[in-house]
């Protein structure tokens, strides 16, 4: 069984408590449980990680290079500002998918640019918690070359 990691950025630990009109009502733990179930269906072991710290996210991406077969990342607010996360994604030669709960292109002007998406194979946004499920399906196809 192949292994993936889903890396979650700042404030995603507050899902279910903040702006549910934008981010939905599911908590991060509920999304994690759905992802683990979907991963099993796709023959993937899913590991979940969340940090509010940019450096910790970068270290986790570096670690993923040797421990995982693919990365799904929701960089959250770092999407729009972190060249450092972009550089770490570019350094990893594994399938990578960026996801977002909301449609970043229908939000405030400063959220419409994803710096980090330049370092991934593809971007999924706007489907709430289902963005994670779609990301798992997409990364499975990349990993198993379907």
How far, in Å, CA of 17 to CA of 14, rounded? 6
Full-prediction pTM beyond 0.75? yes
Residue 2 clears pLDDT 60, i.e. is over it: yes
Q: How confident is the model at residue 31 (pLDDT cuts 50, 70, 90)?
A: very high
Number of domains in the chain: 1
Q: Are strands 2-8 and 96-100 parallel, antiparallel or unpaired?
A: unpaired
Q: How far is CA 45 from CA 6, 15, 109, 136, in A?
A: 11, 23, 36, 11
pLDDT at position 111: 74
Structure-derived torsion over alpha carbons of residues 119, 130, 35, 32, reported in degrees to the nearest 10: 90
Catalytic residues, by residue number, are: 23, 100
Cβ–Cβ under 8 Å, residues 102 and 6: no
Q: How far is CA 21 from CA 18, 37, 99, 124, in A?
A: 9, 25, 18, 19
Q: Is residue 80 packed enough to be buried (19+ CB in 10 Å), middle (13-18) or exposed (0-12)?
A: middle
pLDDT at position 79: 95
Structure-token pair, residue 33: 């449980």
pLDDT at position 14: 84
CATH number for the domain harbouring residue 87: 3.40.50.9100
Task: State the residue range of the domain holding 82.
Answer: 2-143
Q: How confident is the model at residue 142 (pLDDT cuts 50, 70, 90)?
A: very high
How far, in Å, CA of 15 to CA of 11, rounded? 8
Q: How confident is the model at residue 23 (pLDDT cuts 50, 70, 90)?
A: low
Kindly report the average pLDDT of the chain as a whole number: 92
pLDDT digits (tens, 9 = 90+) for 64-93: 999 999 999 999 999 999 999 999 999 999
């Amino acid at each position: 069984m192949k292994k993936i990691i889903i890396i979650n950025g700042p404030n995603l630990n507050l899902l279910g408590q903040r702006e549910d009109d934008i981010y939905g009502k599911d908590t991060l733990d509920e999304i994690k449980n759905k992802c683990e179930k979907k991963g099993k269906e796709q023959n993937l072991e899913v590991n979940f990680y969340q940090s509010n710290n940019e450096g910790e996210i970068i270290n986790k991406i570096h670690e993923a290079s040797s421990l995982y077969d693919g990365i799904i990342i929701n960089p959250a607010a770092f999407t729009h500002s972190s060249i450092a996360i972009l550089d770490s994604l570019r350094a990893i030669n594994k399938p990578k998918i960026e996801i977002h709960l909301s449609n970043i292109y229908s939000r405030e002007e400063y959220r419409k640019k994803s710096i980090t998406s330049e370092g991934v194979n593809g971007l999924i946004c706007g489907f709430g918690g289902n963005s994670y499920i779609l990301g798992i399906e997409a990364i499975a196809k990349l990993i198993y070359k379907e």
